[in-house]
């Protein structure tokens, strides 16, 4: 095998080994009211199975006049095949108790987002609710600054199996934490 053929084989194998870590998904669930700040993190998938529950990383309601409110800082998916996955997570708050579907898996969501506050303290995403396959609605326990937008579409088949978050890190005096999220559906 000459050098150019070896290089092509190396690149082919590297591409397919890297791709093997990602699952195939059939759709992406999004909402239109996500916050404007931050960067999108890496997409993370349940190693196998689907998300049957979630937990939130939040800061307590109203930190006061001198402490910045960030509210929602992270979302974890609890996977039926074992394990927990999360995308980028903000630096503040603590993880709350897991919420789980009585039967089935997570299939849709709605996000509570506070609009930009001008010179006042911004929080962006504050809370989330999920719908389970059996119709049960699971409510996150976080602050209720802002309003809920429209529900995402529902997974056309299967259920939620992956997550990608948009988070603002420590970049200024007024940090918002989690701003937006996308979920991925697998068959």
Can you give the CATH number for the domain in which 150 is found? 2.100.10.20
In a domain, 9, yes or no: no
Domain limits for position 69: 23-186
Give the integer Cα–Cα distance in Å for 155 and 187: 9
Give the integer Cα–Cα distance in Å for 125 and 140: 12
pLDDT at 9: 37
Distances, alpha carbon 10 to alpha carbons 1, 4, 5, 15, in Å: 12, 10, 9, 9
| 3 state SS of 136 | coil
Residue reference for tokens 């080994």: 17
What's the total number of domains in the chain? 1
In a domain, 18, yes or no: no
Give the integer Cα–Cα distance in Å for 66 and 46: 39
* Helical segments of the chain, H only: 3-19
* Ranges of residues in the chain whose predicted pLDDT is under 70: 1-21, 61-70, 116, 119-122, 172-174
pLDDT at 108: 98
pLDDT in tens, 107-139: 999 999 887 677 666 678 889 999 999 999 999
pLDDT at 173: 65
For residues 114 and 126, is the Cβ–Cβ distance under 8 A? yes
In a domain, 61, yes or no: yes
pLDDT at 60: 73
| Gyration radius of the chain over CA positions | 18
């Amino acid at each position: 095998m000459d050098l150019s053929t070896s290089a092509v084989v190396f690149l082919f194998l590297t591409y397919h080994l890297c791709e093997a870590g990602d699952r195939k998904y059939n759709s992406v669930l999004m909402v239109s009211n996500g916050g404007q700040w931050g960067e999108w993190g890496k997409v993370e998938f349940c190693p196998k199975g689907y998300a049957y529950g979630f937990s939130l990383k939040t800061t307590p309601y109203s930190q006061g006049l001198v402490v910045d409110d960030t509210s929602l800082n992270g979302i974890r998916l609890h996977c039926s095949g074992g394990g927990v996955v999360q995308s980028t997570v903000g630096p503040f708050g603590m993880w709350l108790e897991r919420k789980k579907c009585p039967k089935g898996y997570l299939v849709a969501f709605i996000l509570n987002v506070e609009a930009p506050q001008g010179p006042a303290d911004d929080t962006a995403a504050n809370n989330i609710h999920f719908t389970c396959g059996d119709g049960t609605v699971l409510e996150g326990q976080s602050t209720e600054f802002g309003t809920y937008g429209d529900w995402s579409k529902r997974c056309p088949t299967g259920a939620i199996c992956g997550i990608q978050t948009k988070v603002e890190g420590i970049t200024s005096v007024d940090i918002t934490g989690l701003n937006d999220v996308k979920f991925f559906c697998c068959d």
